[in-house]
Structure 1
Amino acid sequence: MTHVPAQTPNPECPVERFLFREEAAKVLRVTPDTISSYIEKGRLRGVRLGHRLLVPASALAELAAER
């Protein structure tokens, strides 16, 4: 087995922040089911991590700007 040293994070490559579906719902003042619906309809980007649904903060900001 080969050991690979950890790399220092590149400040030029920012890490995307994700919110859980429930957190995203609170930000937009809608229900978690509405967030799921937006994702299913393609209105909002989302990522499934196991049984949890995560929403990129940038996608949430884009949707909020449209409203």
Structure 2
Amino acid sequence: VAVEEWIENGMIEPSAELDRAIRDMIVDSSNDATSLVVDVLSGTTSGPELPPSPFETWKLQRNIINR
């Protein structure tokens, strides 16, 4: 729901990759697709462990979609 609203409001750009991820997230319950959608919405990416200060910044950014 959030991703569709963000696209409609011009907060993120639509793309074929995002459309595929949304579909796979819903139809196939794909964790990889869900991760991509969360990455796009939060402006973050999953990856290696971060030191404490960058992790706090990442965590705040990642939680934007929970508001």
Range into which the TM-score falls when normalised by the shorter chain: under 0.3
Q: Going by fraction, where is helix more abundant, 1 or 2?
A: 2
Relative to the length of structure 1, the TM-score reads 0.28
Structure with higher Rg: it is: 1
Q: Which protein has greater RCO, CA pairs closer than 8 Å, 6+ apart? A: 1
More strand by share: 1
